[in-house]
Each structure stands twice: as C-alpha cells, then as structure tokens.
Amino acid sequence: MAEFINIRVTPRYKDDVAYWKKAISQSTQRSIEEITDVVLVKRSIDARGKSPKYQLRVQVFYESKEKSQAADAITYKKLGEAKQVIIIGAGPCGYFAALQCIELGLRPIVLDRGKDVRARRRDLRDIQQRDIVNPDSNYCFGEGGAGTYSDGKLYTRSVKRGNVKKVLRVLVDHGAKADILIDAHPHIGSNKLPQIVANIRETIESAGGSIHFNTQVIDFEIEGGKIKKVVAQDDKVYEGDAVVLCTGHSARDIYKLCHKKGIGMEFKPFAMGMRLEHPQPLIDKIQYNQPKGDYLPAASYSLSCQVDNHGVFSFCMCPGGLIVPAATSPGEIVVNGMSLSKRDSAFANAAMVVTIDDNPGGDDVFGGVQYQQGLEQKIFNHGDGSQAAPAQRVTDFLKGRVSATLPETSYIPGIYAAPMHELLPQDIVTKIKQALKVFDKRMRGYITSEAQFVGLESRTSAPIRIPRDKESLMHEDVEGLFPAGEGAGYAGGILSAALDGERIAVAVKDYLFCS
C-alpha cells in the first residue's frame, strides 16, 4: 500500500528521511515502524512567512517491501537501413530531435557551425579575457547551443508541448543529478552541462547518427517547392529526406539565407533591456526574510508587470551567478547570465527587459534584427573597443545621472560608468524606471545603490518567426523543411527547445511514412 503526502520541513531537514517519517507518522496516525519506505517526488521552497520551509511531496509505502520503481533509461538501438534527416544546429532542440529520430528509426545528420563543447571553451576564454569574438564559436554558437553556458535552467511553462519528465530523464541518463527530477525549479549548472552534452553526442553517434562541427550552412537547394540538399562551407553537400532547422535565436545569417531563398518569415515580438546585478546576500535576505544560512540555496526571484500595455519583466535570473559576454560578431556588446552548479557566486543577476511588440522596421521582416543589431553596435562604439560593458547604479539610473563609482561585478571583461538612461531608447528607459518602483514594493530593498545595470541584454528571444503549419509542423511553402526551436520562434529555453525538437522529430516521421 502506498500514498502521496505533502509535508513541510525546515531547511536543515530537507534530506532527512528519518525526520520525514516522524512528520508522516504524526499526520497519518501510523507508527514509524509501519512506514517501510519514503520516496521524494517533488521539492520546492516556500519563502512566505517569517522563515522559509521546504514543501515536499513524498510517496509513502506501508507494510510492504514494494518500492517506487525509477523509470528505466531509454535505449537507443543501432540504426540499420534508415531514412536520413538533416538537423541544422546542435543545441538542445537539435540534439533532442536527433535522439527522438533514433528512437523512431530515422538517421540524424547534425550540422553545426561551431565547435564541440570542449573546444568551445577556448573561444569563451578569448572573449572574456582577450576581447576576441569568434563569430562561429561563442556563448551562443557551438555544441549545446546558448543554454550550455547559461546556467542550465530546466523549467518551462510549456508543459503541454511534450513529455517534460522524459527530457529530464534523458539528461539524468547522460550525467545530470537526479535532483532535477524532483526540484520545482531544476538547474544543472554551466560547469556540469558540457559533459552531459558530450555524452548525448556519444549516444547519437553510437546509434549511427553523425555530427559535423565547423560546418556552417550557406545554401539550400530547393526544387519544385521541396528542399533537396543543404550546402555547407567548402561546398560540402548533405542530402536527406527532411531538414530540421534549429539554429537558435542569434543565427542572423540563416534568416538572410531563408529570405534569399524565398522561404517565408515574419516579425516576432521580443524583449530588450539590461542585466541587473545585486549582491546575492541582499536578494537572500529579501526573499528569505533572513540571511540564507547553510541549508538554503541562493535565492532567486521572478518579477513582471505591465507598463503602458507593454510587459516589463525579469528574465533568466541567475542566483549566485555571473554576467558573461554574449556577442556573436565583432563590434557588438551583448551580455547574458549564467550560474555554476553550486550557485555560489557573491552576485545575483537577471535580465530586466521590455517587450517590443511592434515591428521597429514597419513591414520589414528584419526590423527587429536591425533594431537589436543597431543598439548592440551603438553600445560597443560608446566604449573603448573592448568587451567592457557600460554600467550604472540603479539609483543613478532612476535619477538620470552617471555613477561616480560602480560596485564590484562578476563580469570579467570589466565595466565602466556610462549614461544607460541616454544610451538606451527612451521608451525602454521610461518603462524600466516605472517597473522598478513596482518591483521595489514587491521586494523591499530591490532598488538600492548596491545594485547596478550592465548593458546590453538584447538576445532574450528571436525577433523573427519562421512559420510552420499547425498540423504538419512543416514550413507552409517548402516541403520537407521543419522550422524548430528558439531560432524559428517556437521555444524559449533549454527545456522548451528540447520538447520542440522531440515534437518535430515525430512530425518528420509522419511526413516521411504517412504522406
């Protein structure tokens, strides 16, 4: 006999099974001896009230040797004769599409413009320490995509898009801690993800798929409205029975290629703003109503409001994290956030962004891209030619004055005092100013001279959507082409991208065997 029970425990007892049994015994009127096993199913923090508590959902077994059985690892059989699917992009969308293809008996051929996840690290070091931006290998491009080096947050509101538990199980099977299966807001950490990504690559290749790095796609061959071939640099040609396009939100060259080939696209709303960095102990005290102590994780937050019918919100909040340079071309300043698995940095950071709902370019499908790029270049040109980023204390931003001094920062290339209230478009500045006052009422102390804005946060999502049919998930104008993931406008993070990749793979099989 077994049942599910919710219990609340103080942080020091979050992993203490003996303590759980006492709490269960008190709530169920059963003796501790009757409880044969307790399995943790879900874990979250409730920080309401004077002191935070862990909310645990557990499966309790009574008077039985029966135990909850963990899901078996998915096995990927070696492919024999199989139709080939070209997958452009080795991020979470591309890799989970490849894994799903293998399950369905299709052979994935993955192409990525960047390097493998280990070789990528040298280019990340170059941009951090030497101000050198490799346009093909950076924080956005390369094996694992942008998510590999941006914390590895694994939560999404898109739970109806697919089997979230399966995606998490696959990550655990490839090296992630099993905690991601139970935590309400799971994350892996940018120091752990590279090995997991490399393990997934090994699974794909062992089953008969292939992965090609340093392989930038430069052309599509389309005949009679159907995609036939993909051409990469050095005129390498790849043929497949279908093509999955999952290149991420920063692959502007792919948008240009699609436009050149007559592949329809449309403007998509996106968001822009800055990174907001606080001392982590300050966020801990605000959220927990006390110092964090030894048993609680670094506190996070999520804030949003409407200002003049535009959303202003925090995004990609990184507790105990770092701000990193995320430019994908020389002559740009772009920042992003990440955390290591322990989330033990002295800083908390989050994007503070405003939605851009109307196309800045009017009817030009590239209006959003040009708006992004123009501001990224403007911020770069304001500096000294390095990856040093402009910054401003929050209190000075509100008062419209350049900061005389700046707090310490986690941003390795360095920061310098600048008038962010003048560098950014005034509609963004005005909306962020109004939103900050709302957020400070929700988190007393959020507005402080200890916090600073670091710019520019411009790559929250793609400013273009590559449309697809709602039923077939195939592009309406090009047979055999399946737009997917963040770059096509259908995902917004690791988990949602992975789910979309799996969904697309199923659609590809339906196309190949049912059409």
Q: Which residues, given as ranges, of the chain have pLDDT below 70? A: 64-71, 151, 157-160, 515
pLDDT at 65: 58
Q: What angle do CA 382, 387, 390 make, to 5 degrees?
A: 45
CA distance 20 to 171: 28
Please report the domains of the chain, with CATH numbers, ordered by start residue: 2-62 (3.30.70), 84-266+465-514 (3.50.50.60), 269-457 (no CATH)
pLDDT at 507: 98
Residue 259 has φ and ψ, to the nearest 5°, of -60, -45
* Residue 454 tokens, joined: 């670091």
pLDDT tens digits, one per residue of 97-143: 999 999 999 999 999 999 999 999 999 999 999 999 999 999 999 99
What region does 244 belong to: left with phi over 0, alpha with psi -120 to 50, or beta? beta
Q: What percent of the chain has pLDDT over 90?
A: 89
CA distance 24 to 340: 35
CA distance 438 to 465: 32
pLDDT at 49: 82
Radius of gyration of the chain (CA): 24
- pTM: predicted TM-score of the whole model, two decimal places: 0.95
Strands (E), 332-407: 335-339, 347-356, 389-393
pLDDT tens digits, one per residue of 38-89: 999 999 999 988 899 999 999 999 976 555 555 677 889 999 999 999 999 9
Mean residue pLDDT of the chain comes to 94
pLDDT at 234: 86
pLDDT at 156: 73
